[in-house]
Copies of this chain bind each other. A is one copy, B any other.
Amino acid sequence: MSTDVAFLGLGNMGLPMALNLVRAGFSVSGHDLVPANVERFVAGGGKTETDSMKAVAAAEVAITMLPASRHVESAYLGDNGILANAKTGTLLIDCSTIAPDAARRVAAAAVERGLTMIDAPVSGGTAGAAAATLTFMVGGPADGLSKARPYLEKMGKAIFHAGDRGAGQTVKMCNNMLLGIQMIGTCEAIRLGIANGIDAKLLSEIIGKSSGRNWALEVYNPCPGVMPNAPASRGYGGGFGVDLMLKDLGLAVENALSTNSSVPMGSLARSLYDLHSKGGAGALDFSSIFKMLGAPDK
Contact = CB atoms under 8 A, between A and B. Distances in A.
Contact of A182 (B206, B214, B254, B271): B214
B210 A135 contact: yes
Interface string A134-169: 010100000000000000000000101011101100
B100 A196 contact: yes
Contact of A171 (B164, B167, B198, B275): B198
Most buried by B among A164, A170, A181, A279: A181
A100 B186 CA distance: 19
A292 B199 CA distance: 32
A252 B213 contact: no
Please state the number of chain copies in the assembly: 4
A35 interface: no
A3 interface: no
A219 to B, nearest CB: 8
Contacts of A292: 275, 278-279
B264 A207 contact: no
B255 A196 contact: yes
A158 B206 CA distance: 10
Contact of A181 (B182, B199, B270): B182
A255 B254 CA distance: 10
A189 interface: yes
A109 interface: no
Contacts of A186: 178
Contact of A175 (B178, B210, B262): B210
Interface in A91-144: 100, 123, 135, 137
Given A160-B206, A182-B185, A272 B264 contact: yes
B268 A175 contact: no
Nearest to A266: B188
Nearest to A253: B257
Contacts of A267: 253, 267-268, 270-271
Interface of A: 100, 123, 135, 137, 158, 160, 162-164, 166-167, 170-171, 173-179, 181-182, 184-186, 188-193, 195-199, 202-203, 206-207, 209-217, 219-220, 250, 252-257, 259-272, 274-275, 278-280, 292-296
Given A176-B212, A195-B259, A278-B293, 11 more contacts: A158-B209, A160-B209, A170-B198, A175-B206, A181-B265, A188-B264, A213-B214, A262-B271, A262-B275, A263-B271, A275-B293
| Top-6 shortest CB links A-B | A214-B214, A181-B185, A178-B212, A264-B271, A195-B259, A175-B212
14 contacts: A162-B203, A163-B198, A171-B203, A174-B190, A175-B206, A179-B212, A185-B265, A189-B266, A192-B255, A261-B293, A262-B271, A262-B274, A267-B270, A279-B279
